[in-house]
Each structure stands twice: as C-alpha cells, then as structure tokens.
Structure 1
C-alpha cells in the first residue's frame, strides 16, 4: 500500500465506505490491516501450541514410513551384500530407489 501511495495511487471501495485518498480512509485501511495481521499471529500461535501439545502426547507428524525397522534392516543387509541392485531391492519392497537410499542412511 505504501508503494502505491508513493506513486499517487489511491484505493476506493465501491461496496464499502473506504477511500485511501483521505486521511480517514488510510486510518481505517491500516486498522483493518493491523487486525488481519493480529489474527494471523493468533492462528500461528494456536497452531504451534497444538503441535507442541500433540508431541507431548506422543504424536508425531508427517507421512507414515512405508518401511518398518525390520524391513530397513533387511534392506541394509541386501544392499551391503550386493546380492541385488538398488532398483531390484526397490522393486521387491514396492518403494522408490530414493526410499532405499534414505533407509540405508537412516540409523535403526
């Protein structure tokens, strides 16, 4: 809005009684903008509090893993033995090659 004002552009609503070409209109516009920012901050604060409470209760976010610890251990064995290629291992477990590489890197 400041950029538009510096270029001499004003905002005049046809449906609401708001006109940023007047000092009163600028005041109203800034009050609405401040309330909108306040609401966004409250939403962010409540969301973070909810996520933290969920973590305390033992919930973890994100997508569930396609592989369990036993499968990851077996994949690591197959990879280290070089019995199968990475693509063959991925096909066997119905996952992508990237999932195989990530499971090898991730500690059990």
Structure 2
C-alpha cells in the first residue's frame, strides 16, 4: 500500500508549500505537484499519479477543489478510484473513503450535486413551457441590431465593389472578425432575396 499526495495551484506564481506540508504531515510517500488551472484538461502530473496507482493505495489532497475541475469531474474521478479499490482522502474537507462515514459523506456530496442539477433542469423546462404558452420561444433572438444592419448594407456594397480585401473591409467598418463580416454578408443577401420576392 502506498500513500500518494496530489497538490495543485492554478498559476505559476502561487506556492505549493502549504499543501506540501499538510500532505507530508499526513504521511504521503510521494507527492505529485501540478501548476495548472483546474479547468485545464492537460494535467500531466495527475495523469502520472493515476497511472501509478495500485489496489489498496491512497490518494490524498489538501482540499477537494485541488483534484477536480468541477463537482461532476471530481465525483467521476473518486468513483473511478473506488472501482480500482483506491481510497481517497481530502484533509480539509474531512473526507476519507477508506471509512464508512467518509464513503457516506462523499456519496452525499454527489447526491446533492445531482439533486441540484435536476432542480435546475426542471425549472428550465417549466420556464420554457411557460414562455411557449405565452407565445415566446427560447434561444438567442435572430437578426441584427439596427447599427449592425447598416454595417451589413455597407459591407455588401464594399464586397461587391471588389476594390478592398476582406481584411480591409473589416478594418474600414471596424468589424472584429472575418466571421462577423461573413455573417453580415449572409444577412444582407437574405434580406435582398426577400425584397425581390
């Protein structure tokens, strides 16, 4: 049985020392140090840790949020450890899946997260149904603002003149990207088609 620690900070200028001290105090024989955002999918040290694990090993973190990018990811990760017969300990959260109470605590956290997701989903469905009953539909409103429509007209004129490049048209009209310009051109072409009908 080996006890592995995992310590992570989000930015390069943050310090790992306090996490390291707590993990050593707990008795970790090896600690994997990561300087990466929790949202970053590429966390090579976490991958090394997971690849090193054997049955009856223990993974220790100072705090739950050091391990997972979100509660969903955290629950999946800890459940995966459970399937591999690896215990999980979060020091500051008082969770130790090697004990019956620790397992219960972690499952309660997961159950509450699932409950919260279901409540949000239910409220969203009720809200959309209520809006539909009043003749409104969800989603982003279609079309362009009045200012954008004017830009679309001018963009089409400049595009049809073929004197300026796409980049130059964007610059002249202060359009942020080529994608936006093409959206304007599409909008104006569709508007003109409707006028012809």
Q: What band does the TM-score fall into relative to the shorter chain? A: 0.5 to 0.7
1:12-65 CA deviation, whole Å, 9 max, x = no partner? Answer: 45456543223343233212211122113333554676688789399947xx86
- Equivalent residue number for residue 103 of structure 1: 184
Superposition deviation, residue 68 in structure 1: 2.2
Query: Which segments of 5 or more consecutive residues in structure 2 lack a partner in the other structure?
Result: 1-77, 192-197
Query: Which segments of 5 or more consecutive residues in structure 1 lack a partner in the other structure?
Result: none
User: What does 1:28-39 align with in structure 2 at a 5 Å threshold?
Assistant: 28-39=105-116
1:56-99 CA deviation, whole Å, 9 max, x = no partner? Answer: 399947xx869522321222122113243333322221124503
Identify, as 1 or 2, the structure richer in strand: 2
How far apart in 1 are the matches of 2:85 and 2:125? 40
Tell me the SS of whatever aligns to 1:68: helix
How far apart in 2 are the matches of 1:2 and 1:59? 35
- Number of residue equivalences: 106
Identify, as 1 or 2, the structure richer in helix: 1
User: What does 1:47-62 align with in structure 2 at a 5 Å threshold?
Assistant: 56=136, 60=140
TM-score calculated relative to the size of structure 1:
0.61
How far apart in 1 are the matches of 2:94 and 2:177? 59
- Equivalent residue number for residue 27 of structure 1: 104
How far apart in 1 are the matches of 2:129 and 2:147? 26
Cα distance, 1:54–1:67 mapped onto 2, change above 3 Å: farther
TM-score calculated relative to the size of structure 2:
0.39
Q: Is the 8 A contact 2:97 2:103 kept in 1?
A: yes
Superposition deviation, residue 10 in structure 1: 1.6
Q: Is the 8 A contact 2:149 2:184 kept in 1?
A: no
